[in-house]
C-alpha cells in the first residue's frame, strides 16, 4: 500500500471516530465532496500534521463545498 493510501485510510479512521460515523458513511462523504483528491493533492503538507488538525481541515474543506 502506498504512503498516500495509508494516509487516506488514517484520515478515514480519524474522521469517522470524531463524527461517530461508519467507515462506509465516511467513504461516501469523502467521495461526495472530493476529499480523497484533496488529501492526495496536499499529502506532502498534511501527512506531517496532527490528527486533530487534519480532521478540522477536512471539516473546513467539506463545509466550503456544501
Domain borders along the chain are 3-64
- Predicted TM-score (pTM) of this structure: 0.93
What rounded mean pLDDT belongs to the chain? Answer: 97
Whether residue 16 contacts residue 22, with contact meaning beta carbons closer than 8 Å, is answered with yes
Q: What does the pLDDT average to over 59-63?
A: 98
The whole-number average pLDDT for the span 29-52 is 96
The DSSP letter of residue 49 is S
Backbone dihedral region of 8: left (phi > 0), alpha (psi from -120 to 50 degrees) or beta?
Answer: alpha
Which residues, 6 or more positions from 59, have their beta carbon under 8 angstroms from its beta carbon?
none
Sorted by sequence, the CB contacts under 8 Å of residue 33 that are 6+ apart come out as 61, 62, 65, 66
Query: At 39, is the pLDDT very low, low, confident or very high (cuts 50, 70, 90)?
Result: very high
Amino acid at each position: 500500500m502506498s504512503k498516500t493510501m495509508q494516509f487516506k485510510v488514517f484520515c478515514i479512521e480519524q474522521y469517522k471516530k470524531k463524527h461517530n460515523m461508519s467507515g462506509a458513511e465516511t467513504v461516501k462523504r469523502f467521495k461526495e465532496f472530493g476529499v480523497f483528491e484533496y488529501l492526495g493533492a496536499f499529502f506532502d503538507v498534511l501527512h506531517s500534521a496532527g490528527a486533530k488538525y487534519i480532521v478540522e481541515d477536512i471539516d473546513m474543506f467539506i463545509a466550503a463545498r456544501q
